[in-house]
């Protein structure tokens, strides 16, 4: 990617407090984008945005919550007047503490639904 390819762009990266989302946010900032680091982990997200520096800000977003999406988009438009890029990265595996077994024979319907709320509904709401 040529240096500065995202100059002047505003990008929202979901699930950006760690992993692929964090690295995407860092790369976008290096390429000149203003990056909104979003996540449900406010502490980690704030640290990531702070370590990226001025082209990045942290905003809380629970991707499975439609009201959170409405609020964050309003805030981005108010602060930056536009949104050029959405990286719908947030996702969970279901292997987090408290989810129990994940094979179809033993997984609970509750953990199945929790994974789908984030991984499917979250993407749908972001595209909406």
Summarised one tens digit per residue, pLDDT across range 42-77 is 999 999 999 999 899 999 999 999 999 999 999 999
CA distance linking residue 16 with residue 84, whole number of Å: 17
CA distance linking residue 98 with residue 10, whole number of Å: 36
* pTM metric for this prediction: 0.90
Q: Which CATH superfamily is domain 10-92 in?
A: NAD(P)-binding Rossmann-like Domain (3.40.50.720)
Q: What is the residue extent of each domain of the chain?
A: 10-92
CA distance linking residue 115 with residue 100, whole number of Å: 12
CA distance linking residue 11 with residue 85, whole number of Å: 4
Residue of 95, 89, 98 lying closest to 45 (CA atoms): 89
Q: Is the dihedral of CA 122, 62, 64, 115 positive or negative?
A: positive
């Amino acid at each position: 990617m040529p240096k500065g390819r995202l100059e002047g762009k505003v990008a929202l990266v979901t699930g950006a407090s760690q992993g692929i989302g964090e690295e995407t946010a860092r790369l976008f900032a290096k390429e000149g984008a203003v990056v909104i680091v979003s996540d449900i982990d406010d502490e980690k997200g704030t640290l990531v945005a702070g370590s990226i520096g001025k082209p990045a800000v942290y905003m809380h977003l629970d991707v499975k919550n439609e009201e959170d999406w409405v609020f964050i988009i309003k805030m981005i438009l108010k602060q930056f007047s536009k949104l050029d890029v959405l990286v719908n990265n947030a996702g969970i595996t279901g292997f987090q503490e408290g989810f129990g077994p994940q094979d179809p024979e033993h997984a609970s319907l509750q953990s199945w639904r929790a994974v789908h709320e984030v991984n499917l509904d979250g993407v749908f709401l972001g595209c909406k």
